[in-house]
Amino acid sequence: MLEYQLKELQDLNLQEGEEAGLEEEIAILENAETLASHCNAITSLLYDNDRSAYVQVSEALRLLNELSSIDRTLEPGAGELAGAESLLEELSRTLRSYGETVDFNPVRLEELQERHHLIQKMKKKYHRSVEELIAMQEEVAGELALQEHNQEAFAEHEENILELKARLTREALALHKARTEAAKRLEPLITKELDTLGIQKSTFNVRIRQEQLKDGDIDFEGTPCTAFRDGCDRVEFLISTNQGEAPRQLAKIASGGEISRVMLALKSALATNTRLPILIFDEIDTGISGRVAEAVGRSLQRLSSLHQIIAITHLPHIAAMGESHLFVEKHEYKGRTSTQVRELSPEEHLEAVARLIDGDTPSEASLAVASQLIRSGKNSKGLENQ
């Protein structure tokens, strides 16, 4: 089959861009009479008769030159008209030359149509474009060359595959062992951090499993398993946020705020090992307030010593902890709404935190509380730096 395909493609001898060239030449030959007659007609209208555009423009130019000799302000117009005269003459010459070269050649047309039909037939047969058929010819030739030496090549490849599978298994098992040990260390850290962040009496587990697969490339303790880009493990985070409930997949049961806090707990536990330059936390304050909000804020503050933290929040406890307070606001201008982000001054920062406590018109009491929250945030930052 491969030999048949190769011969068929070689006999066809396809060339890059051939199909477009064929279609263009066929269109010209099929419309040769129209092209020639239209070129003659256009040349006649532009140049080759007593009332042609060239004759009339030439007469207009003569008259305009006479006027220009009287009023020199008309000279630019005469120059433009002279250009038009030259353009008409050049275009007429080009069209006349083109019309003389047009030749109706039925023999050539039939050859091109047969060639085009053959190419379309081959494209339909293999469901490929001309470029893909050219590539297919190279692929088939390469595969045939390989099969000519298939016994030797097969033995060599089989040996290489066995060696690679053995190496793949060793690497995957080493990675599995490292993951298992890391999971044992991570689980209590996350549970402790979640308790601090207001998800108390939670259970956090890391489930590591393999996908068994007949003829799988990894031998996991005597069982063939699927090889993934990063080993043989499928890692899932399981969580129970209510005492007495069995842990279930984090992505399926956690709310947006809980997921944000779990992410914060993860990043806090892995802070020294992750290389992400920026972390963004949105809705991390969902369903929390008071002491838990303060704990979340301090956790974010600790994490900011290793990463750039962007926290979107409506809680004063978290907003007060930030070293820089960005305020997002919308404006209407000429019937359109635009969003602006600006950095607040220390005074604006204080007022913004107070508004989160007391509404749009903060009282002296809310301003005092906001000031205390900001001072507390700065003090805790200073203690951590020490």
Q: What tens digit of pLDDT does each residue of 162-203 get? A: 899 999 999 999 999 999 999 999 999 888 888 888 778 888
The answer, yes or no, to whether residue 58 has pLDDT greater than 60, is yes
Note the pLDDT of residue 144: 86
Look at residue 259 in the predicted model and tell me its pLDDT: 75
Q: What confidence category does residue 148 fall into, taking pLDDT thresholds of 50, 70 and 90?
A: confident
Least confident of 75-79, 224-228, 240-244, 321-325: 240-244
pLDDT at residue 382, rounded to an integer:
53
Q: What pLDDT was estimated at residue 381?
A: 60
HEC string of 12-27? HCCCCCHHHHHHHHHH
% the chain with pLDDT above 70: 96
Angle between helices 130-148 and 106-126 (to 10 degrees): 60
Query: Predicted confidence band at 380 (pLDDT cuts at 50, 70, 90)?
Result: low
Q: Cα-flanking dihedrals φ and ψ of residue 50, to 5°?
A: -65, -20
Q: What is the pLDDT of residue 383?
A: 45
- pTM given for the model: 0.47
Domains plus CATH for the chain?
2-148 (no CATH), 149-254 (no CATH), 272-386 (3.40.50.300)
The residue ranking higher by pLDDT, 270 or 123, is: 123
Is residue 186 a contact partner of residue 269, using CB atoms and an 8 Å limit? yes
Distance CA 232, CA 236 (A): 13
* pLDDT over 60 at 159, yes or no: yes
